[in-house]
Copies of this chain bind each other. A is one copy, B any other.
Amino acid sequence: MTTQLEQTIQSIKPLDENAMQAARARQNELTKPPGSLGRLEVLSIQIAGITARPRPTLRRPAIITLAADHGVARQGVSAFPIEVTAQMVLNFLRGGAGINVLARHVGAEVIVADVGVAVDLPADDDLIVHKIDYGTRDLSTEPAMTREQARQSIQVGMAIAQNAIARGCDIVGTGEMGIGNTTPSSAIAAVFTGRPVRELTGRGSGVDDAGLTRKITVIEAALARHQPNPADGLDVLSKVGGFEIGGLAGVMLAAAAARVPVVVDGFISGAAALIAASLAPAVRDYMIAAHRSVEIGHRAILDHLGLHPVLDLDLRLGEGTGAALAISICQAACKVLDEMATFAEAGVSNKTS
């Protein structure tokens, strides 16, 4: 039986070469020295390939911010208490968080979903509730979730993205909230990159030296105990992942299947991207890395995925904040391609050589 997940993976196609060639040719006709808009030109060509449109426009951005809790937070691996996950979801719904401000600035919708917060949140029309469970189990002592929950978390993220795209969203940013979620992210990064845990484990929201040492010890012990298989993304996600991480992997897969660019935020989103790419390597071409996080392991994740970040602003908040800013750069890139005059249209002389 082919599941929804396998169907989505199979429907991810390569980038459209014809649209990319047309975009590349047009960039060289626009009234500027060829290549002089650098990354904007590269992004516009990638987005042409993603959307299969030679002059794509991005008018309806959405940030999908998934929230969930982590059993491992009980091990003292975070600077903030576990109740902050739920409190921040309420902050998102009232519009007071960083992601709200930055999404408003760039004209993006914020879609907030509870995919595994440890408590029940008050009903709210703006809150999607697809709780896989009341937080993961403590990965330092047992697998974070069952294999079935891992699959379910990915499918929940897929459904949320598919719904947004059906409503007209044409570029998606990923975001998350989950006290403790840099711990599973570092674990996932270690599994896929094969690098030592201590090179991939940072202070997250600001844990102190003792907390950082605990965090590294917890991750090393969990990897030794569970032996996650890097050839099996669902195995990694279930043993050392999180519900929002699985959900974001699903967002990425669904966006790619629908030919919608997906802007991958920071470290935790990067861990989700590793899961997604392990399930469907073709998804990487649909990803745009928003920024380079200061979280220590992020560079290794980006290198492993072959992604070059758009921004480098020393961010480490998550929520989708870097994705919001990068979405605006992607829109700018597409507007350059679509709206600039050509040499012929403007009556401007081209290069002499």
Contacts and interface: CB of A to CB of B under 8 A. Distances in A.
B314 A98 contact: no
Contacts of A22: none
Contacts of A313: 38-40, 310, 329
Contact of A87 (B36, B87, B347): B347
Interface size for chain A: under 10, 10 to 19, 20 to 34, or 35 or more residues?
A: 35 or more
B335 A101 contact: yes
A97 B352 contact: no
Contacts of A83: 349
A340 interface: yes
A329 B105 CA distance: 9
Given A101-B340, A312-B312, A315-B40, A87 B349 contact: yes
A84 interface: yes
Given A31-B88, A346-B91, A37 B80 contact: no
A218 B91 CA distance: 61
A317 interface: yes
Nearest to A341: B96
Interface string A88-103: 1011001011101110
A193 interface: no
A105 B335 contact: yes
A129 interface: no
Give the number of copies in the complex: 2
B352 A80 contact: yes
Given A31-B98, A32-B317, A88-B31, A206 B351 contact: yes
Contact of A38 (B34, B102, B294): B294
Interface in A1-38: 30-38
A84 B94 CA distance: 52
Contacts of A39: 313-315
A33 B347 CA distance: 52
B91 A31 contact: yes
A353 B33 contact: no
Interface string A200-213: 00000110100100
B31 A352 contact: no
Contacts of A215: none
A153 interface: no
A346 B96 contact: yes
A17 B340 CA distance: 43
Contacts of A91: 31, 341, 346, 348
A353 B211 CA distance: 10
A66 interface: no
A105 B350 CA distance: 26
A51 interface: no
A344 to B, nearest CB: 11
A81 B321 contact: no
Nearest to A351: B79
Given A94-B346, A105-B331, 14 more contacts: A33-B206, A35-B206, A35-B316, A36-B205, A38-B314, A38-B316, A39-B314, A79-B351, A80-B351, A94-B341, A96-B341, A104-B335, A105-B332, A311-B311
A208 B351 CA distance: 11
Interface string A311-349: 111111100010001001101100110011100011111
Given A94-B341, A314-B38, A345-B96, A79 B336 contact: no
